[in-house]
Amino acid sequence: MIVGDYSEDYEVMVPFQALGMIGFQVDAACPGKRSGDTVRTAVHDFEGDQTYSEKPGHLFQLNTAFGLIEADAYDGLYLAGGRACEYLRLDEDVLALTRTVMEAGRPVAAICHGPQILAAAGVLAGRRLTAYPAVAPEIRAVGGTYVAVAPENTVIDGNLATSPAWPGHPGLLRAFARQLAPDLAI
């Protein structure tokens, strides 16, 4: 799981805990930080404004150092959403990791702004996916097909599962977990 300062709180906490609860080892990492360091999260709410509001979330403790990650050691990749994706997509090591996992056809889940990382990695040409609607132009610009769905829905295209926002966790996490462990009864 790739996270960073101001990742969306629910989009970090819920998947980390839910995937761990069903038996997956989830390594959460952030470029420039070590195991035991924390990232600040943000809570995004829709309160009638033209876009979401942002409030302080929790401190989320990382359990691995990004510099120690070897892409081939992982069965899948989870890209949390939130503002962190704006700068994580500029990190060449994040992009290389993303490319390696996608090109190997391993399961990838991305929520909200997470597809910004996929777009910057250049792995969306010909793919169908969803995201927070403000990310649609980036998806289209790199040859992906943006699918507008309700926030609680998930779009699956091969190894890639995406959802526009945290209300989509049930479907997104179910799809991701089934790709990681097809015999898992969920």
Active site residues: 113
User: Which residues are CB-neighbours of 115 under 8 A, at least 6 positions away?
Assistant: 79, 124, 129, 130, 131, 135, 138, 139, 144, 162
Phi and psi at 109, nearest 5°, equal -120, 135
3-state secondary structure of 81: coil
DSSP state of 70: -
Single out the residue of 102, 114, 103 nearest to residue 139, CA to CA.
114
